Amino acid sequence: MSVLIDLTGRNVGKLKVIRRDGFEVHGGGKQAYWACRCDCGRWTRVPGFNLRKQHTLSCGCLNSDVQQARARLEGTRRQPCKDKRGRGKGRRAPWLT
């Protein structure tokens, strides 16, 4: 039997662990879940393993922040693929339509 590691009060990425939020059975063993508050203000429920291994770092707002930063670096939209003649791939040649 494994020992429960108390994660209350720890900060993991943008999450602050507030309290234990019960257990769920996964793969023949119990997994502790924790109620966490994100820096953006949202609440989320995260498995203890994901917190300890830092697999979950936010409520999901971190992903949207990263995507917005990438869009600013790359421009507003990605450019479509072009073939050697400068035409968009996937289009039929005009003489074939």
**Which residue is associated with the tokens 């003489």?**
95
Domain enclosing residue 14, as ranges: 1-75
66: phi then psi, degrees, rounded to nearest 5: -65, -40
Domain count, the chain: 1
| Residues constituting the chain | 97
Say how many C-beta atoms besides its own lie within 10 A of residue 17's C-beta. Answer: 20
10 Å CB burial of residue 91 (0-12, 13-18, 19+) is: exposed
* One-letter identity of residue 90: G
pLDDT tens digits for the chain (97 residues)? 577 889 999 999 999 999 999 998 877 788 999 999 999 999 999 999 999 999 999 998 888 878 888 777 766 555 556 656 665 555 555 555 5
Question: Is residue 53 assigned to a domain?
Answer: yes
Question: Is residue 85 assigned to a domain?
Answer: no
In whole angstroms, what is the distance from residue 60 CA to residue 3 CA? Answer: 29
